């Protein structure tokens, strides 16, 4: 499978290396050349310098033949927009967008975009550790907590 | 009408100002404190501090009762999210997005945001038309740039010169509106006879500008 990853931060770079180790071809997009250093010398995949919401850039990354797309930049809205382009325009089968803002993650989940909120995941894991609770499933961590839902 | 403008840069600032002087109720959302302070100085309660991409901010700014949301920040992705939130979360009737990359016009439509404004595209189309059809000059665009108000100066020997308007084979969806002859401007009707030196103000769709040019000017090379 060919996978396109947007954002070569810690998450994007680690994901790229993991996918490659699992035998997949990978293209990573970032707007900062320095970021590609995180991939190390052993990385065989493609690196593309550019903005992920620009379709010319996605095209260079091979979005047309991609089986998966992950948007992992630090910008929630860039991730939302590029994930929608990948899913709706290019019909990429597996699309995931990382969205820090839990409310936005929830809103786009309702609109049919698969999202992961590291905010809810991180806070939930810390909470369970502190309160000495057993770990829960990912979807439980991703569910919008009442305290946040009410503030809407 | 209640309008929420998101993005307090130059575009948002002047838009809010124009709407307010037009007597509309306006809220201008800006997320940077420093910029907000400036806007509040000028607009008072109209200025609203917050991130317009956040559901909560839009809600507090009154999105549920807004007639129109205009997303005019400098970032296309932010404008997309603002419009999608406004439309789908708060059922705002009309949303308008400013876009910078002209290619995003199609993308936005595909993602459910039909009304976009791109200054890049507007300026580009002016330059493009200047190069290709120097004698049909676009004045302004309506309906997302699909309808254009254009100006045509008729040189000697143009096929439309010395003919009645009703005898011209003008393409459908184009019509001649105003005739400027010397210092006089008159409304054009079917009996108007066009002369060399006349300036015509017409409405046409962007798709048929070339056809329109052919009827009005043929292959005449415009005199510089």
- CATH of residue A60: 3.40.50.720
Q: How far off is chain B from A104, nearest CA to CA, in Å? A: 7
Residue A22 included in any domain = yes
Q: How far off is chain A from B190, nearest CA to CA, in Å? A: 47
Structural domain boundaries, residue A83 = 2-117
How many domains does chain A fold into?
1
- pTM of the entire structure? 0.73
Confidence of residue B129 (pLDDT cuts 50, 70, 90): low
Q: How far off is chain A from B104, nearest CA to CA, in Å? A: 8
Convert the pLDDT of each residue in A18-55 to its tens digit: 999 999 999 999 999 999 999 999 999 999 999 988 88
Confidence of residue B220 (pLDDT cuts 50, 70, 90): very low
Residue A27 included in any domain = yes
Q: Which string of b and e fits A30-41 if b means at least 16 CB within 10 Å?
A: bbeeebbebbee
Residue A139 included in any domain = no
State the pLDDT at residue A150.
Answer: 64
Contact A81 B77 (CB under 8 A): yes
Taking a C-beta distance cutoff of 8 angstroms, is the pair B100, B126 a contact?
Answer: no
Residue A133 included in any domain = no
Q: Could you tell me whether strands B184-187 and B199-205 are parallel, antiparallel, or unpaired per DSSP bridges?
A: unpaired
Taking a C-beta distance cutoff of 8 angstroms, is the pair B75, A52 a contact?
Answer: no
Convert the pLDDT of each residue in B72-92 to its tens digit: 999 999 999 999 999 999 999
What is the number of other CB atoms lying within 10 angstroms of the CB of residue A151?
Answer: 10
Residue A142 included in any domain = no
Residue A130 included in any domain = no
Is the model's pLDDT at B132 over the cut of 60? Answer: no
End-to-end CA distance of chain B: 47
Contact B80 A81 (CB under 8 A): yes
Measured between CA atoms, the residue of chain A closest to residue B57 is: A152
State the pLDDT at residue B142.
Answer: 77
Rg (chain B; Cα; Å): 22
Segments in chain A below pLDDT 70 = 150-152
- Sorted by where each starts, the structural domains of chain B and their CATH numbers stand as 2-121 (3.40.50.720), 133-217 (3.30.70.1450)
Confidence of residue B114 (pLDDT cuts 50, 70, 90): confident
- Sheet with B184-187, strands from edge to edge, namely B136-142, B147-153, B199-205, B175-181, B184-187
Top residue of A59, A77, A102 to mutate, by most chain B CBs within 10 Å, is A77
ipTM over 0.90 threshold: no
Residue A138 included in any domain = no
Q: Tokens representing B210?
A: 């070339």
Residue A83 included in any domain = yes
Least confident range from B10-14, B113-117, B127-131, B149-153: namely B127-131
Which residue from B38, B222, B44, B223 is spatially nearest to B133, judged by alpha carbons? B222
């Amino acid at each position: 499978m060919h996978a396109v990853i947007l954002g070569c931060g810690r998450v994007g770079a680690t994901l790229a290396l993991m996918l490659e180790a699992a035998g997949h071809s990978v293209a990573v997009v970032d707007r900062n050349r320095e970021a590609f250093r995180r991939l190390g010398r052993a990385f065989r995949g493609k690196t593309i310098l550019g903005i992920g919401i620009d379709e010319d850039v996605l095209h260079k990354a091979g979005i047309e033949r991609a089986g998966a797309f992950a948007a992992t930049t630090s910008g929630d809205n860039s991730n939302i927009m590029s994930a929608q382009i990948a899913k709706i325009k290019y019909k990429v089968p597996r699309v995931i967008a990382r969205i820090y803002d839990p409310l936005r993650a929830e809103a786009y989940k309702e609109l049919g975009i698969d999202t992961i909120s590291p905010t809810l995941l991180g806070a939930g894991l810390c909470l369970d550790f502190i309160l000495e609770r057993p770990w829960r499933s990912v979807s439980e961590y991703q569910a919008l907590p009442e305290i946040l839902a009410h503030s809407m | 009408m209640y309008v929420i403008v998101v993005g307090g840069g130059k575009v948002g600032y002047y838009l809010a100002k124009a709407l307010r002087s037009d007597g509309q109720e306006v809220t201008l959302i800006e997320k940077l404190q420093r910029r907000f302070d400036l806007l509040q100085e000028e607009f008072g309660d109209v200025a609203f501090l917050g991130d317009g991409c956040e559901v909560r901010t839009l809600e507090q700014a009154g999105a549920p009762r807004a007639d129109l949301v205009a997303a005019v920040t400098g970032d296309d992705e932010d404008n997309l999210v603002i419009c999608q939130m406004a439309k789908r979360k708060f059922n705002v009737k009309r949303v308008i997005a400013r876009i910078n990359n002209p290619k995003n016009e199609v993308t936005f439509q595909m993602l459910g945001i039909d009304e976009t404004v791109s200054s890049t595209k507007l300026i580009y189309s002016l330059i493009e038309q200047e190069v290709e059809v120097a004698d049909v000059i676009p004045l302004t665009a309506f309906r997302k740039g699909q309808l254009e108000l254009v100006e045509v100066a008729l040189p000697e020997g143009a096929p439309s010169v010395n003919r009645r308007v009703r005898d011209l084979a003008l393409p459908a969806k184009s019509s001649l509106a105003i005739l400027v002859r010397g210092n006089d401007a008159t409304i054009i009707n079917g009996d108007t006879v066009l002369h060399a030196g006349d300036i015509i103000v017409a409405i046409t769709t962007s798709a048929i500008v070339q056809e329109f040019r052919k009827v009005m000017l043929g292959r005449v090379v415009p005199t510089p």
